[in-house]
Amino acid sequence: MARTPAPDRITVHGLTGYGFHGVYPEERERGQTFRVDAVLELDTAPAAAGDDLEQTVNYAELAQRLHAVLVGEPVDLLETLAQRLADLCLGYPVVDAVEITVHKPEVDLGVPADDVTVAIRRERS
């Protein structure tokens, strides 16, 4: 049985921004640092064959756009933020699927913790 090769991936890891996301009023008032990891699945062969940036995702542009969402309009839930980031990535026609992980490293859980994350995977429908 033939194995399906793993998809090609472009990853932006540890993109950081200061946002005002959260359910609690103090989160909305003082803000905090958030981090994002985005793993895009796509076929990079056409870009590689032609050495053509137009056939892939410009990760510098992608990082700027992800950052704008991260520091942009506040939302209550990390799940909502993750979905917005995933939708942005799937807006690139060459992207087949994306995994987004949103980190909230300054989270206050009332007990010691390094981080809380929400990770989602979305595919082009």
**Residue pLDDT tens, the chain, 125 long:** 667 778 999 999 999 999 999 999 999 999 999 999 999 999 999 999 999 999 999 999 999 999 999 999 999 999 999 999 999 999 999 999 999 999 999 998 999 999 999 999 999 98
95 in active site: no
What confidence score (pLDDT) does residue 1 get? 67
**Catalytic: which of 9, 21, 104, 122?**
104
CB 57 within 8 A of CB 95: yes
Residue 36: count of CB within 10 angstroms of its CB: 23
| Nearest alpha carbon to residue 92 among 53, 35, 36 | 53
Domains of the chain: 8-123 (3.30.1130.10)
What confidence score (pLDDT) does residue 6 get? 82
Q: Which amino acid is at 64?
A: Q
Is the pTM above the cut of 0.85?
yes
Helices (H), the chain: 25-30, 45-50, 59-70, 78-90
